[in-house]
Amino acid sequence: MKRLSYERKKSMTGRAFILVWVIGVLVFFVVPFIRTVFYSLNTLNFRTLETSPAGAAYFSRLFTKDTGFLQNLSTVLMNLLYEVPIIVLFSLFIAVLLNQKFAGRLFFRAVFFLPVVVMSGVVFTLLRQDVQSADIMQQTGSGTAAFSNLTLLSDLLSSFGFGESLIDFISQVVDRVIDTAWKSGVQILLCLAGLQSISIGLYEAARMEGATKWEEFWKITFPMVTPVLLVSVIYTIIDSFTANGNVMMAYINNVSFQNFEYSYGCAMSLTYCGVMLVIIGVVAGVIGRSVTYTER
């Protein structure tokens, strides 16, 4: 037999690796997606497992009769407006700190990424429920101790003359500090990789020209990491839409598997997915115009 050339071996190895991904996409995405579209246009009878044509009736029901869908969707979108910027900016800030040379930086890098490796969404939800239960027990046991801790920040901001809307916004941000830290592991890793890919020569040239650290950040660091920030924003949007405990996801699961309206749940899933894709497309189009791509 004629021996395979080196390039042929490389080509076959690459196709073998890609084949695993293709099979995974076909089995776990394409086939379920086609079945979801089919069931959204047909009514599934759980007893007989038979289907009957329904057309676009379920999609029409979403926007004309089901107030719960629109309410939960608006809640998800409102959370998205302030959750994504906070997580991305927090990730960039932490990545800049972790990129500095100091004792124990490998330990702190592991600490921020550890929740992604060890903890799952279900475990984190149970942990939050335990914390909330502990707060309730503290309130009932110690009178107003826990309540005072919760309202201390609001009282402080009120004393400085801040408006109620701003106080509510800041309070929500503080309440989500732990959530932000737990949800920023992947984004911190992406930003850290982007920072480490910046050539040191750019900073050396800037220092020779007398640039300050502030100018280095805005003239070199930030423009060079904009491609990574775009990826982080898109990842955060998807993670927020599909997060465990998301009100919209819980509503879809409840309708599909507790109310046994599987076809209606499929229609909601497709609509919810479509909204997510539209938002990702808009964000990618808007932010993509400001992304700096350079040859490395």
Q: Please tell me the number of Cα atoms within 13 Å of 141 on its side-chain side.
A: 6
pLDDT at 134: 47
Is residue 244 scored above 90 in pLDDT?
no
pLDDT in tens, 194-234: 898 888 888 889 888 888 888 888 888 888 999 999 999 99
Which contacts qualify for 58-62: CB closer than 8 Å, 24 or more apart?
58/263, 58/264, 58/266, 58/267, 59/267, 59/271, 61/264, 61/267, 62/267, 62/268, 62/271
**What letter represents residue 98's amino acid?**
L
As a whole number, mean pLDDT of residues 275-287 equals 92
pLDDT in tens, 24-62: 999 999 999 999 999 999 988 877 778 888 888 899 888
Q: Hey, what are 240's tokens? A: 């927020």
| Orientation angle between helical segments 105-118 and 185-196, nearest 10 degrees | 140
pLDDT in tens, 103-156: 777 777 777 776 666 655 555 556 555 555 544 444 444 443 434 444 666 666
As a whole number, mean pLDDT of residues 65-93 equals 89
CB atoms within 10 A of CB 206: 16
pLDDT at 66: 86
Is residue 279 scored above 90 in pLDDT?
yes
Q: What is the rounded average pLDDT for all residues in the chain?
A: 80
Residue ranges of alpha helices (H) inside the chain are: 6-25, 31-40, 57-64, 67-98, 105-118, 121-142, 145-159, 164-175, 177-183, 185-196, 200-208, 213-216, 222-241, 247-253, 262-288
Lowest-confidence segment of 50-54, 63-67, 156-160 by average pLDDT: 156-160
pLDDT at 11: 85
Residue of 277 and 159 predicted with greater confidence:
277
Element (H, E) at 52: strand 51-53
pLDDT at 266: 92
pLDDT in tens, 255-270: 888 888 889 999 999 9
Q: What angle do CA 14, 15, 21 make, to 5 degrees?
A: 100
